[in-house]
């Protein structure tokens, strides 16, 4: 069988606005191309054009999704499926560049996206040729490629699990904003399950990481990579 590979796609960046902990810092906007025997799958499609008030707040620098995939050696007619982590305009804003290609999103997310000021439907949902597929919960979209709910940033947020030669890779979107946030939550899960030490907090879905077999995770707005730590935690006692 053809080897499954994953490539990061850079769709541009924006500037964190005042009031954010990292105000003034550039934040990447990225998605991923999954080369699979059944064809190429996209996870997130980048940014749409923005209205003036949003542009003035975030100062986005946009790169069309088609330009991003071509830089990875792909052409638009090779894209067979699209899955969006969620339907905000910086993650699903390039959907309209792929008319006729099925787009998978959680039912909850689709309902939210119909609310005022949630997204730009003309680029995300209602463009000519749109084929939106609503799913509910875990759903395999190709052999060894599965969407799983990861609510938090939005109620219908989802991640993509990809079985690779190096284990299960999680394309996490904005399930966590940073690798550090993901790592501390995953460690809290491990302390609770391995040592019965309920310190910290974590999203409910994160308790599934072990069941899902996730070995690494990649993110939309953070270029670092999380890897599972296989070493023994020992049995530390209070100091």
How many CB atoms neighbour CB 200 within 10 A?
A: 12
What is the structure's pLDDT at 239?
83
Is domain 5-164 in CATH 3.40.50.10800, yes or no? no
Over residues 43-65, the pLDDT tens digits come to 999 999 999 998 999 999 999 99
| Helix extents (H) in the chain | 52-58, 65-71, 107-113, 121-124, 179-195, 209-212
Residue 10 class from Cβ within 10 Å (0-12 exposed, 13-18 middle, 19+ buried)? middle
Compute φ and ψ for 171, nearest 5 degrees.
Answer: -90, 105
pTM greater than 0.85 (yes/no): yes
Strands (DSSP E) found in 118-196: 131-135, 139-142, 145-149, 158-164, 167-171
Q: Does residue 1 carry a pLDDT above 60?
A: no
CA atoms of 189 and 199, how far apart (whole Å): 9
pLDDT for the residue numbered 2: 66
Question: What's the start-to-end Cα distance of the chain, in Å?
Answer: 53
The C-alpha atoms of residue 61 and residue 153 are separated, in whole angstroms, by: 22
Give the pLDDT of residue 20.
84
Q: What per-residue confidence (pLDDT) applies to 22?
A: 87
72-124 confidence digits (pLDDT tens):
999 999 999 999 999 999 999 999 999 999 999 999 999 999 999 999 999 99
pLDDT of residue 3: 86
How far is Cα 160 from Cα 82, in angstroms, rounded to an integer?
Answer: 11
Q: What is the mean pLDDT of the chain?
A: 95
Q: Which residue has the higher pLDDT, 22 or 140?
A: 140
State mean pLDDT over 192-196.
94
């Amino acid at each position: 069988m053809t080897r499954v590979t994953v490539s990061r796609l850079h769709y541009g960046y924006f500037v964190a606005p005042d009031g954010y902990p990292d105000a003034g810092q550039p934040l990447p906007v990225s998605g991923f191309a999954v080369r699979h025997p059944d064809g190429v799958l996209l996870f997130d499609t980048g940014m749409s054009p923005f209205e003036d008030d949003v542009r003035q707040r975030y100062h986005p620098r946009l790169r069309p999704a088609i330009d991003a995939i071509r830089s990875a050696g792909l052409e638009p007619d090779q894209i067979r499926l699209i899955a969006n982590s969620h339907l905000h305009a910086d993650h699903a804003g390039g959907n309209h560049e792929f008319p006729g290609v099925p787009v998978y999103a959680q039912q909850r997310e689709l309902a939210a996206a119909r609310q005022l000021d949630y997204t730009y439907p003309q680029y995300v949902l209602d463009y000519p040729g749109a084929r939106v597929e609503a799913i509910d919960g875990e759903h395999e979209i190709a052999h060894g490629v599965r969407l799983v709910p990861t609510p938090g940033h939005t109620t219908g947020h989802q991640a993509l699990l990809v079985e690779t030669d190096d284990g299960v890779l999680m394309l996490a979107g904005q399930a966590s904003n940073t690798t550090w946030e993901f790592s501390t939550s995953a460690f809290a899960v491990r302390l609770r399950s391995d040592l019965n030490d309920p310190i910290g907090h974590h999203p409910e879905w994160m308790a599934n990481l072990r069941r899902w077999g996730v070995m690494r995770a990649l993110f939309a707005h953070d270029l670092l990579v999380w890897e599972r730590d296989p070493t023994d935690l020992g049995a530390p006692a209070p100091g």
